Structure 1
């Protein structure tokens, strides 16, 4: 009896295992099919880099869920895939873009750019222009009624359609042609609907269709005119060049743009590698060197002053409330933490209203009391002061909390020994409190410096980097830091976006932050040595 139960139990477990395996494989097939479809869409639309990432994810997950040896990785598969997609790939792709001309005018691949240039047409001297009316069938085929300057009218069918005759005489009753209107155009054609001007103007496919005989086609080029157009540019694959059929000018590919010897260019360009030219441009271009020098100097000054001011105020409050005889310190400390609990975006917007030059409460009070109102947004010195003021309000609660805990961790017997030796006031603070405090708080100071070095939200939300720097060749402001300047170049440049240049600056920022991180370790070791001598 017991052996029968054991056999039934084993059989049930086996069936359960097999069903689980089948369901697992079925789910994997469904997920893989969806990923394959998505990858094909990416490849069709020219997004090769991101398609490669999804191919890696597809192969990795398929291997992990099918190979018994990879069983431990199943619990991390989704996390590792997300890490690759959202962390590793952006870093690699940003590095790649930094060495390209990717930006406005160079957003397409070479194939897409060639196709667009080849699609451009012109009307030769012997070509004719026509009035036109379009007809469309239920299956999406088109027919065009055209009339030349001499009044001769014809019906022309799509060049790529399978018809014995592509050009028809406009004769009512023949080939399904109905009665003619006052212009001589058929009011009806069997199997086709006549398009009015609004329908024809909104039909984006109509201008792409060629009508008539293959050797002499007609194309719609405006709401009023169709013409015997020819391709303007002839592409030579061997030479990788375009020849202008109208002027005879030859254009060769040069760093992503087809350029003639006279310096004329064809649009659009295409993505191409430009080596280290973006970095060279960043370091040597006189037009960029001016604003970049100002922005870089302000970036370091802003980060340093922000850390110094917030740490100083937070520490002063911690020391003040550390006095056991101070009354009501718990309530006051709770109130002082409020700026830290409110989302920074809301706080920045509130401060932007408070410091409004015309109706802000600060300028209103100053104007009434002293007949003076700072230009918080139009004068670059006052704008920088406003930025530091808002950041002080946002940052001091953090250091107040950090230093409060750090001060309590300093042994009281050290202070007692110092008092016995006659040390008082500032001597105790400079030689005992601050060195011991920096041992635990020092790394946080450098981390705060790095955070403020890239504090994009404050700069962008409060003032957008303004006021603008006069004469700057790119969009740049006196309160811009490197990260906001990169954003302007990539997304809000008045002269077009330049993702390649912005990516190059991003790499420079990364290198600067890496250097700061190394300095952090160096100072951490130094503060530990100082604490040992206290």
Structure 2
């Protein structure tokens, strides 16, 4: 017993076990119980190995972060840094021990799911796109590399020499026939054969050899990527290779003024100020390349109020909603009609015909869309030729805006009605026949039974699927792109757009296939707008789904 006022560590109690067939009792110690607060210490060697691997990982990530920073990939650098800190937390902190079993999956989710979403949001607030793909520092460095030949500058013919250590020298001959030896960071010299290691001259006055250097032929010199970047001669009067046959005393064409945030042309004196990531002069001339710059809500503002984009965007948004709505209405109506038709137990050959009607759902949509595109071809398509031979006229499925939209809805109807036929067939089986019997007693006709019983109870079951179908069709890129790529094209639009384009295909054209240059920033902004549109519609439709459930409960 424990003495009053004292305490002692609790020891595991002995367990008394009755052995069958014997009258004796044996006691065995119980396994130790680890209470909260106790910790299981790993052996020293595994812990050292774990920390050594973690340190090696951190060093590798530190090198990668420096590399990403030098390239200007700051969003990816931030993502890698956050993931690395998270990995360190999980591997070091004991309370995060359960997360170790999910660590690889969490890293993949962060890199390939969360990071692309965050990066898309970041891009939406920038001018990232054609001509603006690099950082400001990289753009300034490229512009400052441009040179010009001042009026007082001299031009030379040149021959290159290279040492085994990778050092270069030029033999220069000016217009008067004077020869010079040029090396980086050294003044020009005029050595004679035998001086400074210069060997005998050939018929053109070029040394056959220079001590420590090897003469490069024209092909070797033209393919050497280092030569054009080397400045020969002393500082302030350097000579650079200008062409395969000419070197000259070139000067930087532009200088950067950080106070004005502008480039100044030293030859003409024109000032190019930073305007949304592009150095632009007062008369509208620009310097390339531009650079990525944060432009706040300009992309969203252009989407809503830009006069140039208002016309095509208004038509695109209207058609996008109409396409999703009419696709859902037609597909659901045809699928429900077939399901009700085959719900009659006396319908002949029901199983065979139902199996045949499911075939469009089993064929990959890619193949089906391409087949329909061929059948509607105005020259060789089966449907077009049949209509023309029968009634002497065939719709212009690919050139007329209205018939192109009808063709899109027709192909989508073929692709989707089997799906609604299947789900409606299953949902109809859940409606009790007793309800219909009671309605018949009350004198309800078939039309009233459909509107008052079948449809409300059916919507309770398929309502969420209808919402999912509307959302899918709102972003049904494959159908639009594969059938006619959004055509026919709209005339006079500042960005590429077609009459059957929906927002997602328009975003694709902006981001990847724009003939006037891609615009990732604007495309990302539209993507975010699409997300909020679809989210709002989904929430709105879920409200009505709850209303349908209330109808079903009261039925």
Does the TM-score normalized on the shorter chain lie above 0.5?
Answer: yes
For the residue of structure 2 that corresponds to 1:135, the secondary structure is strand
Matched, 1:473 2:494: yes
- The match for 1:7 is none
1:425-440 counterparts in 2 under 5 A?
Answer: 425-440=446-461
Distance in 1 of aligned mates of 2:530 and 2:422: 30
1:444-523 counterparts in 2 under 5 A?
Answer: 444-523=465-544
After alignment, is 497-506 or 237-246 more displaced?
A: 237-246
Distance in 2 of aligned mates of 1:278 and 1:529: 43
- How much does 1:499 deviate? 1.7
- How much does 1:77 deviate? 2.1
Distance in 1 of aligned mates of 2:191 and 2:330: 85
Which of 106, 125, 128 pairs up with 1:102? 128
Which of 92, 95, 106 pairs up with 1:69? 95
Extract unaligned runs of 5+ from structure 2: 1-27, 30-39
For the residue of structure 2 that corresponds to 1:213, the secondary structure is coil
For the residue of structure 2 that corresponds to 1:79, the secondary structure is helix
- How much does 1:22 deviate? 4.5
Aligned length: 518
- How much does 1:20 deviate? 4.3
Q: Deviations over 1:1-25 (max 9, x none)?
A: x99xxxxxxxxxx999555444444
Distance in 2 of aligned mates of 1:85 and 1:262: 44
Distance in 2 of aligned mates of 1:484 and 1:450: 15
Distance in 1 of aligned mates of 2:347 and 2:195: 105
Q: Deviations over 1:210-254 (max 9, x none)?
A: 112222111112223221100111222344332221122233333
Distance in 2 of aligned mates of 1:105 and 1:445: 43
After alignment, is 480-489 or 136-145 more displaced?
A: 136-145
For the residue of structure 1 that corresponds to 2:180, the secondary structure is strand
- The match for 1:307 is 328
- How much does 1:117 deviate? 1.7
Distance in 2 of aligned mates of 1:274 and 1:120: 27
Matched, 1:142 2:168: yes
Q: Would you tell me which structure has more helix in proportion to its own residues?
A: 1
Q: 1:121 to 1:354 in 2, by over 3 A?
A: same
- The match for 2:318 is 297
Distance in 1 of aligned mates of 2:44 and 2:372: 64
- The match for 1:111 is 137
Matched, 1:212 2:233: yes
Distance in 2 of aligned mates of 1:15 and 1:436: 61
After alignment, is 323-332 or 435-444 more displaced?
A: 323-332
Distance in 2 of aligned mates of 1:26 and 1:331: 67
Which of 341, 357, 368 pairs up with 2:362? 341
- The match for 1:248 is 269
1:120-519 counterparts in 2 under 5 A?
Answer: 120-159=146-185, 165-169=186-190, 171-519=192-540
Q: With structure 2 as the length reference, what TM-score do the two structures score?
A: 0.87
- How much does 1:275 deviate? 2.2
- The match for 2:77 is 51
Q: 1:324 to 1:151 in 2, by over 3 A?
A: same
For the residue of structure 2 that corresponds to 1:117, the secondary structure is helix
Q: 1:206 to 1:351 in 2, by over 3 A?
A: farther
Q: 1:144 to 1:354 in 2, by over 3 A?
A: farther
- How much does 1:271 deviate? 1.8
- How much does 1:373 deviate? 3.0
Q: 1:17 to 1:311 in 2, by over 3 A?
A: farther
Structure with the greater alpha carbon radius of gyration = 2
Distance in 1 of aligned mates of 2:509 and 2:209: 55
Distance in 2 of aligned mates of 1:345 and 1:137: 60
For the residue of structure 2 that corresponds to 1:226, the secondary structure is strand
Q: With structure 1 as the length reference, what TM-score do the two structures score?
A: 0.91
After alignment, is 107-116 or 472-481 more displaced?
A: 107-116
- How much does 1:27 deviate? 4.2
Q: 1:23 to 1:323 in 2, by over 3 A?
A: farther
Q: 1:522 to 1:151 in 2, by over 3 A?
A: same
- How much does 1:385 deviate? 1.6
Distance in 2 of aligned mates of 1:17 and 1:332: 70
- How much does 1:55 deviate? 0.7
- How much does 1:276 deviate? 1.8
Q: Deviations over 1:274-320 (max 9, x none)?
A: 22222221112221111111111110011011111111121122122
Q: Deviations over 1:12-57 (max 9, x none)?
A: xx99955544444454444444433333321221101111110111
Q: 1:310 to 1:214 in 2, by over 3 A?
A: same
For the residue of structure 2 that corresponds to 1:144, the secondary structure is strand
- How much does 1:413 deviate? 0.7
Distance in 1 of aligned mates of 2:392 and 2:192: 87
Extract unaligned runs of 5+ from structure 1: 4-13, 160-164
- How much does 1:484 deviate? 0.9
After alignment, is 32-41 or 345-354 more displaced?
A: 32-41
Matched, 1:87 2:108: no
Distance in 1 of aligned mates of 2:381 and 2:60: 55
